Amino acid sequence: MQEKYLNPVKIILPDSNGFTILEKKEIIKLVANGNCTDIYLVGNRKLTYCMTLKEFDKLLKPYECFCRIHRSSIVNLDHVKAFSNEGIIELAEEQVAHCSDSIKEEFISYFKHP
């Protein structure tokens, strides 16, 4: 379904019951949880979805605001508030994520002016 309908503002998450629609600005980060993924949303909401983080990475590729920063997490770059040299990313609503050393330069490049 995602290939047929790519909305620049909304993300369509197919599931066995149909699909769920989220606005990309709602998503703060995604974290692997076994074969599922925890999606942290604005308003201190959390949704657990039965898709692997690898599947979410593929689904979110067309959206430039999402960056896989670690083998176990993806962040929405629009919600980044700060970054430390130790690789700690502060996100909206007091969420935190860790950036792996191998991704650090790529992550930082998103915030450099052209």
Q: How far apart are CA 26 and CA 23, in angstroms?
A: 5
**pLDDT beyond 70 at 5:** no
Check whether domain 10-109 has CATH 2.70.170.10, yes or no = no
- Compute the half-sphere exposure of residue 45: CA atoms within 13 Å on the CB side of its CA: 7
- Compute the half-sphere exposure of residue 65: CA atoms within 13 Å on the CB side of its CA: 17
- Are 60 and 74 a contacting pair, CB within 8 Å? yes
Q: What percent of the chain has pLDDT over 70?
A: 92
pLDDT mean across residues, the chain: 90
- Are 65 and 77 a contacting pair, CB within 8 Å? yes
Region 25-49 average pLDDT = 96
Q: What percent of the chain has pLDDT over 90?
A: 72
Q: How far apart are CA 1 and CA 109, in angstroms?
A: 32
pTM flag (> 0.85): yes
